[in-house]
Chain A
Amino acid sequence: MKLLKVPALTFLTVSTLLLAGLNACRKPAELRIGIIVPLTGGSADFGRWAHNGVELALAELNRQGALSGKRFVGLYEDTQMEPKLGLSAFKKLVSVDEVTAVMTAGSGVVLAIAPEAESTRTVQINYSAVNPGIRKAGQYTFTLVNDAEVEAEEIARFAYQTLGIREIAVAYANASYGVGTRDAVAHSFSRHGGKIVGTVAFPEDFTDVRAQILQLAEMKAQAVYLVATINDSGRLLTQAAELGFKTQWLSYNPFESPEVVRIAGAAADGVIFTSSNPFDLPDTDDKPKQFLDAYVAKYGERPNLYAATAYDAVFLLAHAKMSSDGTREGIQRALASVSGYQGVSGIISFDEDGCAHRPVFIKTVRDGRFVMYVP
């Protein structure tokens, strides 16, 4: 064994380096888009929806562009929703794989990447993160969803005017998206004349939040706004129901996932949340409808907003690359001028901060299904 040790080690080292080198050299006719999403970890759902949407988009793009000889390729990097991992993934994609455009998810990740995107002049399209700070993160950062302030405004107005709620509490995950949304909700609700009676934080991926639920109960608010991942929302609602804590739960876009119902069961019924999901409307436009059918045919489940925005992100980046002079600044200019683009998630126009405004609906959970809210 000892005799083989040195040559074996040498072989392993050389072959590893060779593989890494070969990996980095890709065919020049490939157009690469970086996909920086949580593929594992508590928010792996976001990554899964993105993956599904991106694969559909790439297949369609390459089908359309088959004759031109150009192939679009998605390079996936896992962030586990951690800003540190997201930033190193971004740096690797830009310096090693030489991508000129990425799509990203997660407020912490997007905000961490933004300064680097500015300095390397690499556009990032955020297809899901809602922290209001992203608006001012730079001209190379574009967002396809409403930020927390927009959603907060809608739910605050709805809660105050339609539901007659005057006092709310906020339960939020102790992370970037949680804190950003908490502040947005507090601000909006107060502006309408309502009162925030308290806020309670919980760690992400918790085991047990019974202490926090008791704190919420003490506050005796008429409604509680919940900002959490699917996993955490599901478990929190279950534990709250077991403790006998009843309230009007309010939440936001990411809440809309079948997983929540799968985890919480009947405890998820009655939650009211803001949604920009274009697929449940009676008069869905053609393009979203086509996407819906294609998605269901391929994956056997209905898409949600994030699969659609991920799909749109790929197409927007592809169009920007093809229609511009190919330089980094050119791609940024092409994206910034997008207006009235009919995407599968709806009509997209970027404002002067690179943010798109999406229509907001109020939905609820009834018997385990997500339906439009009817008073």
Chain B
Amino acid sequence: MSAQTLLNTLIAASEYALVGLSFAVIYIVARFFHFSHGAVFTCAAYAAYTAKTQLELSLGPTVVMAIGVAGLLGIALELGVYRKLRRRGANKLTLLVASMGLYLVLQNTISLIFGDSVKVLRDVGPDKAMVFWGGRITNIQVWIILTSPVTFALVWATLKFTRLGKVLRAVANDSELSKVVGIDVEKATLIAFVVGSTLAGLAAVVISLNVDMTPTMGMNALMMAVVVVIIGGVKSLRGIAVAAMLLAAARNFGVIWVGAEWQDAIAFLLLSAFLLLRPQGLFGLPLRRSSV
């Protein structure tokens, strides 16, 4: 069954990488732990669910609606909460606490409106699977494996070759210096939120099509995203991709070697190991001091 385990690892890695990327874009520019990113993820999924069940849209418009809702929510959070707090001199810890509060409110609002039982986005029941290399993979899982690298490539190209990408990289590198050379840091932050949130929306839809949705799914996704971003080295896209593979392999193969009940613990053991032994991550620069 190791062919299947490899396939599962690939699918999981693609999911982690996508969510990790969405989180990283915001984190490196805004420089604080945007906890409610998990809620943006969940809201996008439930927007897709609403689109499908209430508005009876087909898949394409559903995906667009989910991504749109995610982007708008990201903008609302940045303009309505974070920017206002920053203008009052809030430090990173305050922003973190605020984002945790936002996550709780948003997640519970979803629970209130939709209930806590699993909601299914695809047609009910198991998807047909194709046999591939001795393992089985469904249509949506193939899409996930394809979407991830394509998205990575697009984001990488944007960051490297466009003016917008340069601005984001500049702010990520040093926001004070960026201000000095005339970059509108607040605008750049807003754009980072838009990009990161829409990526989260895309991830949310494809993941929901694969494993259905619950109001707490955002927390699961966020945890994996954070682990991947930290292990990868925060600012390195390459690092996120490699870290995603590493985490997925640890969780899928770890279950075989260590035992299924340790699956979640494995993720955090990996994170702890990196924080202790190589805190800059796989491809990050060594730092003398860092903080969240």
Contacts and interface: CB of A to CB of B under 8 A. Distances in A.
Partners in one complex: yes
Interface of A: 40-45, 174, 200-203, 205-208, 210-212, 214-215, 217-218, 230-231, 234-235, 238-239, 241-244, 259, 262-267
Contacts of B115: 44
Interface string B258-270: 0111011000000
5 closest A-B pairs by CB: A265-B125, A241-B126, A201-B261, A211-B255, A44-B116
A40 B114 CA distance: 11
Given A263-B120, A265-B124, A265-B125, A235 B212 contact: yes
B126 A266 contact: yes
A259 B117 contact: yes
Contacts of B184: none
B260 A201 contact: yes
B1 A218 contact: yes
Given A242-B129, A267-B125, A214 B1 contact: yes
Contact of A41 (B116, B124, B263): B116
Interface string B212-228: 10101100110000000
A343 B128 CA distance: 46
Given A263-B124, A265-B126, A203 B263 contact: yes
B211 interface: yes
9 contacts: A202-B260, A205-B216, A207-B221, A215-B255, A231-B118, A235-B211, A243-B4, A263-B117, A263-B118
Interface in B244-282: 251-252, 255-256, 259-261, 263-264
Nearest to B108: A40
Contacts of B108: 40
B5 A214 contact: yes
B216 A208 contact: no
Contact of A208 (B1, B12, B111, B118): B12
B212 A42 contact: no
A56 to B, nearest CB: 20
Given A44-B111, A235-B212, A262-B120, 11 more contacts: A200-B260, A203-B261, A206-B220, A214-B256, A215-B255, A231-B117, A231-B214, A241-B126, A242-B138, A244-B136, A266-B126
B8 interface: yes
Contacts of A217: 1
A203 B264 contact: yes
B5 A211 contact: yes
A246 B217 CA distance: 27
A271 to B, nearest CB: 14
B111 A40 contact: yes
Nearest to B128: A242
Contact of B214 (A42, A45, A215, A244): A42
Interface in B108-163: 108, 111, 115-118, 120, 124-127, 129, 136, 138
Contact of B211 (A41, A44, A208, A212): A208
A373 B118 CA distance: 27
A244 B129 CA distance: 8
Contacts of A42: 116, 214, 216
Contacts of A205: 214, 216
Interface of B: 1, 4-5, 8, 12, 108, 111, 115-118, 120, 124-127, 129, 136, 138, 207, 211-212, 214, 216-217, 220-221, 251-252, 255-256, 259-261, 263-264
B211 A239 contact: yes
A284 B25 CA distance: 61
A41 B112 CA distance: 11
Contact of A44 (B117, B220, B221): B117
A235 B126 contact: no
B116 A242 contact: no
B172 to A, nearest CB: 30
A207 B211 contact: yes
A307 to B, nearest CB: 16
Contact of A210 (B8, B111, B126, B207): B8
B116 to A, nearest CB: 4
A262 B1 CA distance: 30
B116 A215 contact: no
B138 A211 contact: no
B126 A207 contact: no
A200 B214 CA distance: 23
Contacts of B111: 40, 44
Chain B CB count within 10 A is highest, among A218, A259, A264, for: A264
Contacts of B120: 262-263
A235 B255 CA distance: 19
B169 to A, nearest CB: 32
A207 B217 contact: yes
Contacts of A230: 117
A214 B126 contact: no
Given A211-B8, A218-B1, A263-B212, A242 B126 contact: yes
Given A235-B118, A242-B138, A215 B260 contact: yes
A257 B218 CA distance: 26
A74 to B, nearest CB: 20
B251 to A, nearest CB: 7
Contacts of B264: 203
A264 B70 CA distance: 28
B200 to A, nearest CB: 15
Given A242-B129, A244-B129, A215 B256 contact: yes
Nearest to B207: A207
A109 to B, nearest CB: 16
Contacts of A210: 4, 8, 252
